[in-house]
Each structure stands twice: as C-alpha cells, then as structure tokens.
Amino acid sequence: MRLRGVISLGLALAVVANAALADAPRTSIRPMPKPGGASATSEYVVIYTNAPGVRESLRPRISPRSRYGAPAPIATPVASAPVIYSTARLAPSRSLRPVPRPRRGAVPAPSVAPAPVTAPPPQVVALGSQGRVCRSRDIRGERLRDIPGELRGCGVNNPVRVSSVSGVALNPPAVMDCDTAKALNEWVDEGVKPTIGRLGGGIAELRVVDDYSCRPRNNRPGAEISEHGRGKAIDIASFNLRNGVRIPVEGGWNDRVQGRLLKQMHREACGPFGTVLGPDADRYHQDHFHLDTARHGNGNYCR
C-alpha cells in the first residue's frame, strides 16, 4: 500500500511540472537597453506604446511640437511592435553661438539717406485775379504778397505767379520775381519758339519742376542759399508740343533729333539768364534745365 501511494504522488508531480513547462516563454525575458547605454550612439529612439499592463494615459508620447521641430516617424507602427522615431531633427541645425559684437569704434553706415534741407512752403497770398503782370502784355499770372524768408537769405519782394509767357503755358504756374519772369518771356519768345518752329504744331507748354524754394544749392546742408530761395530761378524738365509730343531733357539730350533742339534752346537761354545749367553741367541737372537771373562778375555762366 505504501508503495502504491508513493507511485501516485510521483505521477501527480510529473503532471504539474509538464503544465508549468507548457506556460514558460520560449526565450529569456531580458530588459531593453536604456537610452544612453550601450546603444546610445544609435540615431533612433524605440518607444513601446502597447506594452502589456501599461495604461493608455501612462504611455510615453512624442510631443507634436518641440524647439527644433516635430520628429518624423520613419517606420509605421504595427500591432505588438515598437514605434521608431528618427532623432535627426531633435538636434539643432547649427550651433547656438552668440552674434559677435561690432568692433569698438566701428560706426555702421546709415541705411537711409539724410533728408534734403528745405524750409516749409511759403504762405503765398494773391493780391489780384489772373491777368497781365510785371507791366508786360505777354506775361500772364497774378501778383502775390511779399514772401518772407523762412531761412536767412530767402524771400521775394513783389513776387508773381506766372501762368504763361508769350502764349506758352507753364505747368504748373511758377512763383518768381519780375526780373526772372521777363527773362523767361524773352527766352521763350526769341529762343524756344523759333527753335521749335512748326514742329508738332509749335510749342504749347513748359513743364516746370521747381520755382521758388527756400533751400541750399542742390539741397546740400551748409551750402549757400540757392537762387530758387530768392525767386530768381526756374527749372524746366520738358517742352511739350501742341500735338502731344514731349521733348524731355532727360533722355532727349543725347537723342539725335531731340538733342539738337534741346542744345539749341540751352544756348539761346545764355543771355536772358545769368546762369544756365543742363545735363552736361553736373549730376544734379541730368533731367532739367536750371535757369536763373543771378549775374556774375565775369559774365554769364552756361554749361
């Protein structure tokens, strides 16, 4: 009886052992290496998102936004497989080094050119209606109240706003003194009109780009007051014909046909005016004629 009991107990233990072996894993359960350990040089991060026993709220996540951009997955996750992310975009694209300071004493160049030196526009007050001015039947415009000097050396006594001379309109009408208005009328009547002749139906209009303006010469700070600031100068940019054709100083000066007309009118101005400047004078007069009645001790200055 004792022998039969021992055999029965041995058979029972064998059955239990076989059941335990059937439930055992085929391979050893080894932990994955930690980041920074033996695999720290790898360029991938392995994250298990479906490990058994881990609740959904406790699973690690890659933030969709980071300082250097969101990491891009390079492998599609499948059931019971880890999610693999590249770490290439987790590193900065370049070293975050501070910008070197400028050398001591270095002065950066200004990004914006200094504004021209000009005074506020004058308060021009008309004393009468449009009509003949400067005691000339060929000069039409209106008389103005004296213009005080906004800067020292500026101002005009007995100014006029001229709208036309010898039947040729000024666009826009120009403010000047009567001496300058008479010189302009003489030049148009004896120089401009004969030079243009019947071309395009004749001269119809002078395009004015500057008249009275209280400022230094060529708008240069510290320079002498321009004759424009004394009401003795006018700038002409183009000569417009009755058929609508325009003869511009800029672009026309070196033209084979228009250049001949412009140079002739430039020469004719040297006489009525004390100073005549054009594209050959300097870089400030590439696009207009400057005409003023200043008189020089050694004669007229024409370039």
Q: What is the pLDDT of residues 85-116, one digit of tens each?
A: 444 444 454 555 655 565 655 555 544 444 55
Q: Residue 83: which pLDDT band, with cuts at 50, 70 and 90?
A: very low
Q: Say if residue 275's pLDDT is above 70.
A: yes
Q: Are residues 139 and 269 in the same domain?
A: yes
Q: Say if residue 138's pLDDT is above 50.
A: yes
**Would you say residue 104 lies in a domain?**
no
Per-residue pLDDT tens for 140-198? 999 999 999 878 889 999 999 999 999 999 999 999 999 999 999 999 999 999 999 99
Q: What residues pair up with 239 in beta bridges, in sequence order?
A: 206, 247
**Would you say residue 111 lies in a domain?**
no
The two beta strands, 136-143 and 160-165, are: antiparallel
**Would you say residue 204 lies in a domain?**
yes
Average pLDDT in the chain:
76
Per-residue pLDDT tens for 201-214? 999 999 999 999 99
The DSSP code for 159 is -
Per-residue pLDDT tens for 215-254? 888 778 777 889 999 999 999 999 999 999 999 999 999 9
**Would you say residue 15 lies in a domain?**
no
**Would you say residue 28 lies in a domain?**
no
Q: Are residues 252 and 144 in the same domain?
A: yes
pLDDT score for 55: 46
Q: Are residues 222 and 82 in the same domain?
A: no
pLDDT score for 78: 42
Q: Are residues 247 and 160 in the same domain?
A: yes
Q: Are residues 83 and 135 in the same domain?
A: no
**Would you say residue 98 lies in a domain?**
no
**Would you say residue 297 lies in a domain?**
yes
Average pLDDT of the residues in 286-290: 97
Q: How far lies 125's CA from each of 158, 160, 286, in Å?
A: 11, 10, 33
| Domain, as residue range, for 144 | 131-302
Based on DSSP, count helices (H) and strands (E) in the chain, helices before strands.
5, 12
Q: Are residues 290 and 208 in the same domain?
A: yes
**Would you say residue 225 lies in a domain?**
yes
The count of structural domains within the chain is 2
Q: Are residues 298 and 188 in the same domain?
A: yes
pLDDT score for 13: 54
